[in-house]
Chain A
């Protein structure tokens, strides 16, 4: 495939090269919200999963994801063709690495798969073994992510809902609210369920104990870093997968920061109203939730709609953090389930509610908003919950049978740094032991 047919500007590459900053931001946030005695292991795990995701995606991920109009495996359902898996070549064979759309999509996919794989690390912090998260990443980046990305971005059956069944433009996801955020967030839920909570997190009567993050500066700096990555993610996704012209980048960037800002302020306001003071970690989770939500519709909405989507995301994420911890008894130190799964799913739904415009500058078959768009988005959400969650849970459950994912009690007491790496991130610190005191 040649780049000349699409006239993609070199700036698209620049946007893609920003995406790893989102990963750096998430790694800092996850580390800052974890315990100090697991900080080095968590940063090491972040580097490992990004590396493994890139390799797995290179080996088979892009072959399974593909691009629209490329060979694919089809099913015929009721006389309609459903593309369910790309029929590409392993190791990026036959992909012209010359700036063609396929090569740019492969580059973005490598970074995006790593980003999706970083999200569960926040839920498994302080107890997820390095080897286990590495193996889990192989499955995520080599199979689960590419499969859903094909359905969404590779011309798969979700993208075909418009042409096959008249549901709007088909399932739309501008920057990865479903493929990256909800995918990573639901995987985080599966991992948190399989691992169980950290020792000392819940009392005998199932009341959660506060285990505060060890470095709020990491967390809040990570938020700023993530913004730059999201600008790249949303902009390159809109151009590559939604046919938007490069000029749409200004709108996408404005919508992205408005969504994040509204979400953070909403979270700060909610926590201030509930607890008397704004909570730094929940505000950070709100910011990330706003970014995740922005990824769904950022190319299709007006700025005031982005602010509204972000504000709702901030409130939802703040409430979800408490609900996950109190009602579900799920220990999610990084807030990954709330910020990425809830934020991402809300972002997907927001396309159906707010997207009254085709992507600005979009050419071809774009038309007036269709009432079936919200139904297409609901089908995507149902697929994430009804297919992706059981799949990722099942795979990680099987992995847990053969290679236990949770560190031993002694390792958890000692700290992941010393137990798995032999050295801590902060050798001058004194390790506290009060979390293990029976309550």
Chain B
């Protein structure tokens, strides 16, 4: 899950870069940039879930 989280982070960034580089119309570009950030947020959520309190550290 941790690896998937990081993959989503980088994928979201790639979507943002692609939208900036390839799209020229303002609205689709903004939509894809926001979509890329949305993918990053999902990746962050996965990373948060993938980092539980490790056993033994509470003692």
Contact = CB atoms under 8 A, between A and B. Distances in A.
A385 B41 CA distance: 9
Contact of A202 (B17, B29, B36, B53): B53
Nearest to B13: A386
Contacts of B51: 193, 328-330
B55 to A, nearest CB: 10
Interface string B19-48: 011100010011001101100100110011
A45 interface: no
Contacts, number: 89
A375 B59 contact: no
Contact of B20 (A165, A389, A394): A165
Interface string A187-202: 0000001001111111
Most-contacted residue by chain A among B21, B43, B52 (CB, 10 A)? B21
A197 B59 CA distance: 11
A204 interface: yes
Nearest to A198: B57
Query: How many B residues touch the partner, as a band?
Result: 20 to 34
Contacts of B44: 385
A390 B6 contact: yes
A203 interface: yes
A278 interface: no
A264 interface: no
Given A77-B21, A197-B53, A389-B9, A382 B58 contact: no
Interface in B3-22: 6, 9-14, 16-17, 20-22
A78 B21 contact: yes
Given A382-B40, A386-B10, 11 more contacts: A196-B54, A199-B59, A201-B57, A202-B53, A203-B58, A329-B51, A371-B26, A378-B37, A389-B9, A390-B10, A393-B6
